[in-house]
Amino acid sequence: MKKQDLIDQIHIKKSFLCVGLDTDLTKIPQHLLSFEDPIFEFNKAIIEATKDYCVCYKINNAFYEAEGVKGWESMAKTLALIPENILTIADAKRGDIGNTSNMYAKAFFQNLNFDAITLAPYMGNDSLAPFFQYPNKWGIVLALTSNAGSADYEQQKINEEFLYELVIKNTTKLATDEQLMFVVGATKPQDFITIRKHAPTHFLLVPGVGAQGGSLAEVVKYGKNADVGLLINASRSIIYASNGFDFAEAAANEAKILRDEMSLYL
């Protein structure tokens, strides 16, 4: 998906919502467990219920890999259901030596045909470069994450700059804002000021709004740019809004609430 296509969808839907499909067999409604593929049945219902309110789906690979081959099949079937005008992200956090990253890029961009993948940058730019060889595909590099452990490395200073700043400055040498995004947690909203100094035109994937307590208003205040430039991810607060027969309806309601709030900033 091209950057302009994503921007167009944001304005058409009045939304910059990304729904995270962190589908856990222990949390989905019990009545779905009788299906041959409960994960797929759950995802199918969630996608149908929320597709009009979001511009992106993020599939957290860990929840599928944990189920072995069947989980990968569920993931592939889920991906095939998502409309072409909605960005698809593999939340896989890959990043390894060059030849290994080449294979990861082939797996997610050629075989599975995701639009984007999250990347761990700490092995250096040569571990990321293979992902930027695919036209109209995106690498989303971890910059400043929402977990408490981000203080251990990302927020350590090197020569008066935070490590996450160096990550952003160095990776912008690999690709333009047509292919490169950054992960920035919603729980540290004022740090968006610093991040925008280094990446003023890039899209930012922002987890942490909803179940993790991040504020949409503060993220928009400090992080929004001329193209909006934000994809706000919500996972648990939407997909697990109910564990009953009304789970899809409840998910739709939560997604609509967020979409309606987002529309006020467009």
Residue of 93, 106, 169, 197 with catalytic role: 93
93 a catalytic residue: yes
Q: What is the dihedral of CA 243, 147, 221, 266, to 10 degrees?
A: -40
Q: How remote is the C-alpha of 33 from its chain's centroid? A: 27
Residue positions counted in the chain: 266
Cα–Cα dist 92/215, whole Å? 25
Q: What is the dihedral of CA 94, 185, 150, 58, to 10 degrees?
A: -20
DSSP letter, residue 33: G
Q: Three-state secondary structure along 251-263?
A: HHHHHHHHHHHHH
- Are β-strands 157-158 and 87-94 bridged in parallel, bridged antiparallel, or unpaired? unpaired
Cross-strand partners of 206: 232
Cα–Cα dist 255/252, whole Å? 5
DSSP letter, residue 228: B
Q: Where are the alpha helices (DSSP H) in the chain?
A: 3-13, 38-50, 61-65, 68-81, 98-105, 125-128, 163-171, 192-198, 216-223, 236-239, 247-263
| Tokens (6 digits) for 69 | 């081959």
Catalytic positions, please? 93
